[in-house]
Amino acid sequence: MRRWLELDEEEFYATFYCASVTRCYPGRAPSGRGDRTPTPREQDLCSFWSDWELRLLRPRLIVPVGRLAIRRLLGISGLASCVGRRYERDGATVIPLPHPSGASGWLNSPANRELTVAAAKLVRGELSRLGRG
């Protein structure tokens, strides 16, 4: 993801606060490929933390990464319908990105990679506008 945003590790972590939808490791997926998707109940139990962090931090830019974070934040299920687009939520610009994990096959499609390039360009533009990029 840092490569997509053209940020080195230090710049990335100085720019972004990173948090997960759930705070507890859900364990391995039954298939053995990646982590198990937290259940809706597990997500609900942890939503207090992400809601509290957003109220406390009041970010001007939110970059939800992956289907789970995008669905929790924006209520959008399909990556192709939101990656490469800009949204507004509670005064913040929201630019969704796909999860960069190799466990996801979404980035294998050239069309999806193009959407990711467009989304990364939006993030870089927003960072520049905010004086961070």
Chunked into runs of 10 residues, the chain (133 residues) has average pLDDT values of 95 95 92 90 94 96 97 95 97 97 88 98 97 80
CB 62 within 8 A of CB 90: no
Looking at the domain that runs over 2-129, which CATH code has it been given?
Answer: 3.40.470.10
Determine the pLDDT at residue 132.
84
CB 96 within 8 A of CB 64: yes
Rounded to an integer, what distance in angstroms lies between the CA atom of residue 64 and that of residue 72? Answer: 9
DSSP, res 59: -
- Per domain, the residue ranges of the chain are 2-129
Rounded to an integer, what distance in angstroms lies between the CA atom of residue 62 and that of residue 95? Answer: 6
Determine the pLDDT at residue 26.
92
